[in-house]
Amino acid sequence: GNSVTQMEGPVTLSEEAFLTINCTYTATGYPSLFWYVQYPGEGLQLLLKATKADDKGSNKGFEATYRKETTSFHLEKGSVQVSDSAVYFCALSAASYNTDKLIFGTGTRLQVFP
C-alpha cells in the first residue's frame, strides 16, 4: 500500500543552522508529493509540492526534490529562523486514487532557538 515515513522529531536547531527533514515514500504509480507546515494552534498550510520525478518544489527558502530512484522527498532550508518552529508533514497523493486523497507521514516537530 501507499505510505510515507518521516524522521522522528523533535529536531532542535539554533537560528541560521541548516535544516534537513527526511521523508521517504512507498507508492504504486506516480504520486505527487507535498510538504505541509502546521504552526502552533493553526491548520495546515501547503509549503511546497512536486508532481513528477526530478521536480524541485520551493517556497520561503525551503526546498525539496522528488527523487524517484530513492523514493525520497527530503525538506531542506539553508538558514532556519525562530519563526520556522512548527510541525512539518510530508504527504503523498497517489494517482491511482479516484480522488485527491492525501497520505501523511507522522510529522516532524522543528524547534529553532535564538
Partner 1 sequence: DTEVTQTPKHLVMGMTNKKSLKCEQHMGHRAMYWYKQKAKKPPELMFVYSYEKLSINESVPSRFSPECPNSSLLNLHLHALQPEDSALYLCASSQEGNRGAGNTIYFGEGSWLTVV
Where on the chain is the footprint of partner 1 (CB under 8 A)? 31-32, 34, 36, 42-46, 49, 51, 89, 93-102, 104-107
Q: In angstroms, what is the minimal distance from the CB of 83 to partner 1?
A: 16
Residue 64 CB, shortest distance to partner 1, in Å, is 15
Q: How many CB atoms lie within 10 A of CB 14?
A: 10
**In the complex, minimum distance from the CB of residue 66 to partner 1, in angstroms, rounded to a whole number:** 11
Q: Classify the C-alpha dihedral 83-112-26-1 as positive or negative.
A: negative
* 35 within 8 A of 90, measured Cβ to Cβ: yes
Cell numbers at residue 51, please?
A: 508532481
If the CB atoms of residues 13 and 32 are measured against partner 1, the closer one turns out to be 32
Which is closer to partner 1, CB of 11 or CB of 17?
A: 11
Closest CB to partner 1 among residues 1, 43 = 43
d(CA 23, CA 40): 22
Nearer to partner 1, 3 or 14 (CB): 3
- Residues whose CB falls within 8 Å of the CB of residue 79, separated by 6 or more in sequence, listed in order: 16, 17, 18, 61
